[in-house]
Amino acid sequence: MTPIEEDLISAAVEHAEIEKEEALEQARAEQVELQAWTERSVRMVHYLDKKFSEAEKQGERQLSLQSLVKDKSRRVVAGTFFEFLVLKTKNLIDLKQDEPYGEIKLTKTVCHTCSSFFAFF
């Protein structure tokens, strides 16, 4: 084997090892991210997926907090709003309120529609 061939083989092995390390690091990062999700947040993601699908069938692209929590207890309303804030920090939904004490509207973000992300749940 020539020195050039040995260098090529060595470089290929080193490249494969680097790719393997990067893949392991990415898998660890994804695992940490998944551990950061609470069961409640996961349930809220699935609930919102269902509600967004229903709204899209009617030609709507937004959901209203008020319509989602209508006739619910204060505790449920507060918990729902908290989960919305959690999902907002993870860039899964956008929240908009045009005026103080006004209607709070939810829209999906690009991240929310990534089916590969939700395959973990």
Local structure of 66: helix, strand or coil: helix
**What gap in Å lies between CA 103 and CA 90, rounded to an integer?**
22
d(CA 52, CA 68): 11
Phi and psi, residue 114, nearest 5°: -75, 100
pTM of the prediction?
0.63
How many Å is the Cα radius of gyration of the chain? 22
User: What average pLDDT does the structure give for the chain?
Assistant: 84
Q: What distances in angstroms separate CA 88 from CA 4, 83, 106, 114, one per listed residue?
A: 54, 8, 10, 15
User: Does the structure show a pLDDT above 70 at 119?
Assistant: no
On whether the CB atoms of residues 82 and 40 are closer than 8 A, the answer is: no
Q: Lowest mean pLDDT of 10-14, 22-26, 65-69, name the range.
A: 22-26
Three-state SS letters, 79-118: HHHHHHHHHHHCCCEEEEECCCCCCEEEEECCHHHCHHHH
Note the pLDDT tens digit of each residue in 60-112: 999 999 999 999 999 999 999 999 999 998 888 999 999 999 999 999 887 65
Q: Give 112's contacts (C-beta < 8 A, 6+ positions apart).
A: 45, 48, 52, 92, 93
